[in-house]
Amino acid sequence: MPPVTTLLVFAAATLALLLVPGPAVVYIVTRSVSQGRAAGLVSVAGIHAGSVVHVAAAALGVSALLAASATAFTVVKYLGAAYLVYLGLRKLFSREARLTTEVTPASPTRLFSEGFVVNVLNPKTAIFFLAFLPQFTDPAAGPVAAQVLLLGLLWIILGIASDGGYALIAAALAGRLRRSRAAARRLDVVSGLVYIGLGATAALAGNTTTKA
């Protein structure tokens, strides 16, 4: 099991990424604004059912990649870091500043299933698990797959809290969010800086997973 200090650092990094409005947050906010709090919370449940897929894939994939080649893992890490920086630059220079769009009302089943698909196909989540999460594992602390599962569970718990907060706030401020382009632009700038910071951290951090 990773030490408590490692878990705390991971939790801080996770919250930084979760608070950035990516595809999952945009979906949750859109549904909360258009259909209300209950729809937003169902969307959150679907999103994090999708997170389970990422956690399972990372537990299997990271372990297999490390067993196959430390060089291959390093390549994946740098590609992921580069993609995070790219996302950050795109956010910073984006001309589009709108958090929500009008959507057709959907049933709870559809809300859940759409949220699931949105997060399974979310590149931000996939890159985080492949490029950033492994920095917090150490073979000396036990099986890497088990550590990834633990970190993934922490991600999901924090994600439900963070995204649930977005759903509740968006539902309460629905009218204002529909009109505010300035707030959306400020979020884009903050999002861009967070992405770039996480990308740089992933690229520069020592690869603890390759230690004996």
pLDDT tens-place string over residues 23-34: 788 788 888 888
pLDDT at residue 48 tops 90:
yes
Over the stretch 100-159, which tens digit does the pLDDT of each residue have?
445 677 899 999 998 998 888 877 787 777 767 777 877 777 787 888 899 999 999 999
User: What's residue 190's pLDDT?
Assistant: 61
Q: Is the Cβ–Cβ distance between 184 and 95 less than 8 Å?
A: no
| Helix (H/G/I), strand (E/B), else coil: 138 | coil
Residue written as tokens 């399972």?
56
User: What's 189's DSSP letter?
Assistant: H
Please report the pLDDT score of residue 90 as a whole number.
Answer: 75
pLDDT digits (tens, 9 = 90+) for 78-100: 776 677 677 678 767 766 545 54
Torsion angles phi and psi, residue 96, rounded to 5: -95, 125
Are the C-beta atoms of residues 87 and 125 closer than 8 Å to each other?
no
Of 48 and 92, more confident: 48
Mean pLDDT to the nearest integer, 166-186? 70
Per the CB < 8 A criterion, the answer to whether 85 and 196 are in contact is yes
Burial of 185: CB neighbours in 10 Å, binned 0-12, 13-18, 19+: middle
- 46 pLDDT band (50/70/90 cuts)? very high
99 touches 27 (CB < 8 A): no
The answer to whether the predicted template modeling score (pTM) of the entire model surpasses 0.75 is no
- How confident is the model at residue 80, as a pLDDT? 64
Distance, in Å, from the CA atom of 174 to the CA atom of 155, rounded to the nearest integer, reads 27
| For residues 47-56, average pLDDT | 91
The reported pLDDT for the residue numbered 209 is 42
Burial of 169 (0-12, 13-18, 19+ CB in 10 A): middle
d(CA 68, CA 171): 47
Cα separation of the two ends of the chain: 16
Burial of 127: CB neighbours in 10 Å, binned 0-12, 13-18, 19+: buried
* Residue 185 identity: R
The mean predicted confidence, pLDDT, of the chain is 76
pLDDT of residue 211: 40
